Structure 1
């Protein structure tokens, strides 16, 4: 049973200032609040500049814009500006030309003009009294530096809507409060009660379906062997994130601070079935079952953040005889919290594996060894680009839950009157779980990190179940450790190859009998 779990880890609440369209940005400071938490992240962008570098072309500054499309996202926009309005508003129009020209000024836009809140003036040409043809773009890197002008920015974004500054944001469960760097706490407040729409996957997937032509026994006919692997997946996870970034464009582009936090909580589980009439070692390789975008942020020319949730899986197996095997990987995630870079705070993780069903089917009269390792891997990814390529990176949080079934079994069948089959079983079976929570980044944000990083948040193996039956149960026989080590890394990294598998012995056909059906929690 999978249920919606409210996020229990404290996260940053975004303190939003609000947009005041009645006040012109003429004093070297301007901010913009955006997002809805569904299509885009809640966000705030602050610009601070020398007064002659930052201006305003909204009605509050005396300007009326025409010819600008709300969908303008890149390239050059050619618009018309007209200075009109009250005496105070029209007096503000002159600010656009402070310093002698409008070219290379950064200007605030109306919400009906473009997808960005700010743009660069390429040029402005007067066409009639108080009217101008103006060309705009989002390429702030083209603003020349003369050593006297400054322009800095700060961005905060989260898929959690915050309250006003000073509001206490408290989680529903008692989690020790953590301290964050000043650069983060100025933007985010901790301890909030909040619910987020869960990322839910409840579906069966076929991971692998292959057939092989097998030779015939002497005097017999050939047969077709097969390998079919499927996964029945149930995932219910909530995830929240917060990002804080500060930097400057003038006098030269640079990222001065960056911090990201991401949390996840919920349940994840999958039951893997491998139906094999072949023997040998195989792996499905990493398979993406599901992916979904989370609310991101795009401030053209400044920052682009693209978060997403990805669900991967993999099954590795070594089958000593044709058999049908079931193994499950199920675990709860009370709390996983990533803070990146590591210097910005401590990341924590708590994972609890849950005993799951396991099963093995063999032919009568058969002896078999089997090792099956099933992986279910929820993953959060954050693609980040700053200042049109000045910094490009992907930060990830990976939760790899695995279950390993190790079995050694022998089935014998005695035929009695009435064709009744009496099947007896000797053997041992064990179920182990493993959880590895890793995080890291690829790419670079100069000044913050410059090479690929990876580190563990949590790594632990659990023995969930072990049982012997038949004659072996009387001897206190244990599952051979070697069964769990037959899949070496080189084998696991390869995709399925027919050379790794072999056909069953000719003439050994027959229906598979269910000789083992255990539940680990019993």
Structure 2
């Protein structure tokens, strides 16, 4: 990625608040801002005077040969104005010094000088000679410098450790509304850095909230859209069932379908603390703001017995604009939606149930810190329809999962370490069913039309579980396959028992389902199944579940 286009003046509505000051040299410490159409942020570096310097015009330097698209390269430069501090870079040796680069030199904001010498080519373009300040009219010596972004190059002893503090936002222009203020003194401990990251994420969350209610520039895009509209078959298996006595042969089938929709918006921010020399992040935190509505209708039909699982099936994957501090930290998010269904059944069942919920103002923090997870989760209205064969005793368990996922690919300090943090929003609908064929007439219940020959219990629940995890070690901050729960809420969508007391007592709950779930695959029923008759047909108001 070319770095210079990130600093487009038209995208700096709050430029007056920019942390990076091009009129002041970067001696010992300085800031660097990025602002693009997809994000903004500030990184602050600080170290001993001999460890951090500057080769921009603010420090008196003029660079003549530099590729703006390349990170590691050799350049030619001259001291344009000695009064501005060109000699600062020689406090120890130029080699081993981290330097700030001009906007039009290199693809990174900082580079390590690995070698410095008097260049063989002493020519200076005529267009640049007039900019050189020399009282005696002499021509300055043209120097050569090798720049590298391998900040832990063992062949180049560093002139000191250089710390870094970083805050970034997916909202363009947001960086002008927060300030990177590193801890000092006794606060600059491991614990202090963790507190600083927590505090920084809290500030980012507040800035994002202010953008969402229009406190800042309303012309700036505040978030990335998340959209899904797809119908998919999750599972469909047929088996031939041979004739058994007077029961004719038939083709048995188990089928699971899902109609899924998602509409929403996401924004995110990041804070990190550590050092660029040596390259090491000591603390890292991610903030995600989410508003979305997700709906889905699960349909299942089966006239065979046993257990089934679809495994996770990907419905959608789209890229979300990245946030890039070149060679320091890059974040490339994607939005994925997966679906999964599992079932254990032993009767003729047809079911339709809606998964519906709205997330408003949700704020998720990873790793969880002092900031509380905020937001509102509201279940929507759901239509519940269930039909089952009334002439057999049956137990069943069905679960469907619609899983939107935000995956944040991380690459830190020139790719020294990489990992993906995934936030999984697992919305589910689950059925627990126990029906018993009974001679007694059932008691009429509002909202269902269970037949006189059926009794038992039906329990349908819905919920949302948000968890976060990583697919690789990321420095010592979090480990591969670590998982942490960020949010969990479950509702009973429909729960009723009906029919005779004998039938009700036959409901053995999840213990029976767990036993059935161990069945291996699907098989033909051992007895004739009657036609499925309606057990539940009801609309459940989401407002009644809150």
Which TM-score band applies after superposition, normalised by the shorter structure? Answer: 0.7 to 0.9
The counterpart of 2:257, out of the listed 213, 230, 243, is 230
Cα distance in 2 for partners of 1:366, 1:219 equals 17
Deviations 1:435-487 (A, max 9, x none): 33334556555565567654434434422223567xx2x87975965355544
Aligned to 1:128: 121
Q: State yes or no: 1:259 paired with 2:251.
A: no
Q: Describe how 1:449-488 pairs up with structure 2 within 5 A.
A: 453-467=482-496, 472=499, 481-488=507-514
Q: State yes or no: 1:51 paired with 2:46.
A: no
Deviations 1:282-333 (A, max 9, x none): 1222333233333333334432333333323221212222433223322222
Aligned to 2:182: none
Q: Describe how 1:282-321 pairs up with structure 2 within 5 A.
A: 282-321=308-347
Aligned to 2:23: 23
| TM-align CA RMSD | 4.2
Q: State yes or no: 1:500 paired with 2:493.
A: no
Aligned to 2:534: 515
Deviations 1:476-501 (A, max 9, x none): 97596535554439949xxxx9x410
C-alpha spacing 1:372/1:166, structure 2 compared with 1 (3 Å): closer
Q: Report the alpha carbon displacement of residue 392 of structure 1 after superposing the two structures with TM.
A: 5.0
Q: Describe how 1:365-444 pairs up with structure 2 within 5 A.
A: 368-388=394-414, 393-407=419-433, 426-427=454-455, 429-440=458-469, 443-444=472-473
Deviations 1:213-258 (A, max 9, x none): 44455799975433332211112233332211111244x4443433
More divergent stretch after superposition (360-369 vs 121-130): 360-369
C-alpha spacing 1:371/1:257, structure 2 compared with 1 (3 Å): closer
Aligned to 2:270: 243
Structure 2: gaps (5+ residues)? 1-13, 123-140, 180-193, 213-221, 439-449, 542-546
C-alpha spacing 1:147/1:486, structure 2 compared with 1 (3 Å): same
Cα distance in 1 for partners of 2:389, 2:373 equals 49
Greater per-residue strand proportion:
1
Cα distance in 2 for partners of 1:155, 1:15 equals 18
Cα distance in 1 for partners of 2:246, 2:399 equals 39
Q: Secondary structure at the match of 1:295?
A: coil
Cα distance in 2 for partners of 1:482, 1:435 equals 26
Contact 2:77 2:144 in 1 (8 A): no
Q: State yes or no: 1:192 paired with 2:192.
A: no
Structure 1: gaps (5+ residues)? 1-13, 168-179, 413-422
Structure possessing the higher relative contact order (Cα contacts under 8 Å, 6 or more residues apart): 1
Cα distance in 1 for partners of 2:294, 2:155 equals 52
Cα distance in 2 for partners of 1:485, 1:328 equals 25
Cα distance in 1 for partners of 2:497, 2:89 equals 86
Cα distance in 2 for partners of 1:224, 1:135 equals 74
C-alpha spacing 1:166/1:294, structure 2 compared with 1 (3 Å): closer
C-alpha spacing 1:163/1:54, structure 2 compared with 1 (3 Å): closer
Contact 2:451 2:533 in 1 (8 A): no
Deviations 1:172-198 (A, max 9, x none): xxxxxxxx9445546835251424233
Cα distance in 1 for partners of 2:437, 2:476 equals 64
C-alpha spacing 1:18/1:392, structure 2 compared with 1 (3 Å): same
Q: Secondary structure at the match of 1:488?
A: helix
**TM-score under structure 2 length normalisation:** 0.71
**TM-score under structure 1 length normalisation:** 0.73
Greater per-residue helix proportion:
2
Aligned to 1:77: 73
C-alpha spacing 1:96/1:482, structure 2 compared with 1 (3 Å): farther
Q: Report the alpha carbon displacement of residue 264 of structure 1 after superposing the two structures with TM.
A: 2.4
**When the two structures are aligned, how many residues end up with a matched partner?**
467
